[in-house]
Structure 1
Amino acid sequence: MTQVAEAGAAEAGVEEAGVEARGTEAGVAEPAAVVAVSAAVVAEVAAVVAEVAEGGGAEVGVAEAAAVVAVPAAVVGVPVAADQGGIPVRGRVLGADRAAVGGATVTLISLGGKQLGRSVARGDGTYGVDAPGTGTYVLIASSEGYQPQASTIVVAGEQVAYDVLLSGTSGLAGVVRSPDGGTPVAEAVVIVTDVRGEVLATGLTDVLGEFTVTDLVPGPVTLAVNSPMHRPLAHVVEIGAAGITRVELELRPGAQVRGTVRGGGAPLSDARVTLVDAAGNVVATTETGPDGAYALSDLDTGAYTVIATGYPPRAASLRVPGAGVGDHDIELAHAGE
């Protein structure tokens, strides 16, 4: 009977603790006092459990102790699992050529530097992080072979769409010269394209024939160079993982032949002009304009045959210089004229 009475007292302690806990949830105040009382009740029940266990009441005592232990957790506000939610920030990570950068890491931090979210971009470059609320944040994106990018974003009350553009850490530099003694070719146009033909960068050589292209990503690119009075050149370059890749290019002189095709003393339009080299290979073809004019460019030094058709065809030999423009007019006529 003594043990039963003590157990009853313990139950009463549990009820008192429950009443006090409910009062605190209703807006009272002293969580510390409640915890102290509950701790005392737990100790009391523990003693009862120890005594009752010998008499087969252990299961009851354990259940009562568990109930008491649960009270302070609710009173002091121990966090429980809940759906925190957030304002989504979504977008894509793209390279300088607008190609997706899969595997890029995107981190959302507060202005104080605390990490709030992190995402790894998918193969198509898409990423997603959640801002805890409205405000201003910093979005950081990084990927191997690219320069990291930090951006400030403002989050209002709805989803934010923001694409991040990353630039490469590698570059390309070189010099363009002519074969005649290595003379620099100034103001040559330099064009860099990727494997899909998308233009990544353009520029001009300086007075020393030098050029520099930055913010490229590692991998193969096509480098094209053209200049007046020279033959254009295209060259595949493998961009290194870091630093500047250097190249030296040589542009061969390109001559031009131009003239006018006439028939019956008047300019002849739509006449076909064909240029054949000494081996009989067709080098270039064109048609005359309304004024009978034609032009054939990017020619190497050598002997050629120019053939014009429109009237009965006529062929004539000419010598193309190593550089510059050569004039060659053609007179077509019917037989007997």
Structure 2
Amino acid sequence: MVGGEPVSHDILLSGTSGLLGTVTSADHKEPVVGAMVVAADVLAAGLTDTDGTFTFAELVPGPLTLAVTAAGFRPVALPVEVTAQGVTRNEVALSSGSQVQGAVTAVGRPLNDVRVTLVDAAGNVVATTTTGEDGGYAFTDLDGGEYMLMATGYPPKATHLTVHGSGVDGHDIELSHVGE
């Protein structure tokens, strides 16, 4: 009703569109269970099921970005065009990220609380970690390529100390990494 009078108006209904696909590992072609799949630009998200499939129903036709992440795999973002009718099918293959792990030792003993830094070929710090009780460290989800690995202990610390003529003087020194 406009101004108290009925007005004729045509409405065009379109069919519903959807997106269906499977997420597999690029290396072994096996389904990736529990991968987070996000249809960006339309705000739809869900997890893959036991056979790696995902489904989004009633999407608006047109372009969107499909983003997929899963533990132990490199994230992927793909452009997808959802058709006006029916279900668009899309297969996603995730590549596993590389991993570096090891231990820092001295004189055959593991060193705890050593800072280990991974630097890429361009000189950028990729990640930093601290060794555990067993001297172990690990970096995960890495791109292939050349890296430099640096292990460093605590920075030196100097404190003023006065020793008295007799007896035992206690003087503890607490070391820490910069910013801690």
Q: TM-score over 0.5 for the alignment?
A: yes
Q: 1:176 to 1:84 in 2, by over 3 A?
A: closer
Who is 1:49 aligned against? none
Q: What is the match of residue 183 of structure 1?
A: 30
Q: What is the 5 A alignment of 1:160-309?
A: 169-194=16-41, 200-257=43-100, 267=113, 271=115, 273-276=117-120, 280-281=121-122, 285-288=126-129, 296-300=139-143, 304-308=147-151
Deviations 1:261-293 (A, max 9, x none): 89xx6525xx572243xxx3458622447x899
Following TM superposition, by how much is the alpha carbon of 1:119 offset from its aligned partner in structure 2, in angstroms? 5.6
Compared CA separation, residues 294 and 283, structure 1 to 2 (3 A): farther
Superposed CA offset, 1:75-129 (max 9, x none): xxxxxxxx9748xxxxxxxxxxxxxxxxxxxxxxxxxxxxx55568xxxxxxxxx
- Equivalent position amino acid for 1:286 in 2: A
| Equivalent in the alignment of 1:37 | none
1:241 is aligned with what amino acid? A
The number of equivalent residue pairs is: 146
Q: CA deviation at 1:179?
A: 2.3
Identity fraction in percent:
42
Shift, 1:305, TM fit: 3.2
Give the Cα separation in 2 of the matches to 1:240 and 1:206. Answer: 24
Q: Which has the larger radius of gyration?
A: 1
1:173: how far off? 0.8
CA RMSD of aligned residues (A): 3.8
In 1, Cα distance between the equivalents of 2:7 and 2:137? 65
**Conserved? CA contact 1:284–1:296, under 8 Å:** no
Q: Kindly state the Cα deviation for residue 301 of structure 1 after the two structures are TM-superposed.
A: 5.8
Q: In structure 2, what residue type is equivalent to 1:193?
A: A
d(CA) in 2 for partners of 1:283, 1:182: 33
Deviations 1:126-175 (A, max 9, x none): xxxxxxxxxxxxxxxx5554x6xxxxxxxxxxxxxxxxxxxxx2111111
* Gapped regions of structure 1 (runs ≥ 5): 1-82, 87-115, 121-141, 148-168, 313-337
Does the CA-based 8 Å contact 1:287-1:294 persist in structure 2? Answer: no
In structure 1, C-alpha distance between the alignment counterparts of 2:113 and 2:84, rounded to whole Å: 58
Instruction: Give 1:216 shift.
Output: 0.9
Residues 311, 234 of structure 1: CA spacing in aligned structure 2 closer, same or farther, 3 A cutoff? same
